[in-house]
Structure 1
């Protein structure tokens, strides 16, 4: 396994503290979420028992985001997930979810690829602005699910999504102005 594909190993001590073996320091759940958003795979292991706790901590990260009002999963989806644990459908649900997210990532990659491939619309005035807006929209809609970090992920996480929205609004206004001149 190469260094890039090797998951970041996080060890959980008996005190429940999480230790990043790469940087030799303690990390929080938010730090782990940041590693994942930047495209890094993580593996969380209990130091004493050797148990893999990755799934448990990923679910905890999702639960914390949902409880703070950062809702991504509709109630209907959560309800269906709970139901799937009580039925024989549990064998199908994980494969379905994995395939759905893979299709979402592939669709996002293809949409970005279509914007960068030379096409007749590229000569249209304001195309670059529309392309930037589409990239920002896809990033906002998928929350960085592409598996690779966006070029300004570190900046956008510091400035927040309201700056992204302001940027998109200003770009849209500039595009509308250009189109009205045509």
Structure 2
């Protein structure tokens, strides 16, 4: 997005109904999940108290997907998350998760750039549509986590060496294989 968009304001009424202030209609959790997948930030507030309920509703959306068998979070990760709430790790976990999603997005971006730069398929009809679908998938998978990344550092901007390019390509191939393995398990 060229410019930052204001978060979509959703108000929760006493009746527990959710109201979209932009379109003046009621929405469901599935609607809110759709807004987020489309790249829109949301803010959910209680109409009466003004309390920010966004985190509570995002967790509810994740829980509903997980309970329907659309599992993204392995049991080991869920166990570690539960443990982090009662340990010293609580302060480290959010930063770790944000950095992990940043790395995933960076790897995806680099992979897509390399595919179009060195892949003969890039000139084939439909390749751009496939690339757009993969980018949309990554956007949906990573949601709004890790928005703090602002691009490569000054050192990374320097002309890459052939060895560094080879190392990055190997790393991207490994990450792609891991993602394909995870997707095949889903």
Report the TM-score when normalising by structure 1. Answer: 0.68
The structure-2 alpha-carbon separation of the partners of 1:97 and 1:147, relative to structure 1 and needing over 3 Å to count, comes to closer
- Partner of 1:12 in structure 2? 12
- Partner of 2:69 in structure 1? 69
- Could you list the per-position Cα deviations for residues 80-117 of structure 1 after superposition, in whole angstroms to 9, with x for gaps in the alignment? 00000010110000011011112212222222222233
- Partner of 1:145 in structure 2? 141
1:115·1:131 contact (CA, 8 Å) conserved in 2?
no
- Partner of 2:112 in structure 1? 112
SS at match of 2:95: helix
- Partner of 1:33 in structure 2? 33
Worse-matched range after superposition: 125-134 or 43-52: 125-134
The structure-2 alpha-carbon separation of the partners of 1:32 and 1:125, relative to structure 1 and needing over 3 Å to count, comes to closer
- Partner of 1:23 in structure 2? 23
How far 1:130 moved relative to its partner? Answer: 7.3
| Match status 1:60 vs 2:94 | no
Distance in 2 separating the partners of 1:3 and 1:25: 26
Q: Which runs of 5+ in 2 are unaligned?
A: 145-186
2:116·2:122 contact (CA, 8 Å) conserved in 1?
no
Paired residue total: 143
Distance in 1 separating the partners of 2:122 and 2:23: 47
Distance in 2 separating the partners of 1:139 and 1:6: 21
How far 1:127 moved relative to its partner? Answer: 5.7
- Structure 1 runs (4+) deviating above 3 angstroms are 124-140, 145-148
SS at match of 1:145: helix
1:109·1:146 contact (CA, 8 Å) conserved in 2?
no
SS at match of 2:51: coil
- Partner of 1:84 in structure 2? 84
How far 1:32 moved relative to its partner? Answer: 0.1
2:42·2:54 contact (CA, 8 Å) conserved in 1?
yes
Q: Which runs of 5+ in 1 are unaligned?
A: 149-182
Distance in 2 separating the partners of 1:110 and 1:36: 24
Which structure 2 residues correspond to residues 93-112 of structure 1 after superposition, within 5 A?
Answer: 93-112=93-112
How far 1:128 moved relative to its partner? Answer: 5.7
Report the TM-score when normalising by structure 2. Answer: 0.66
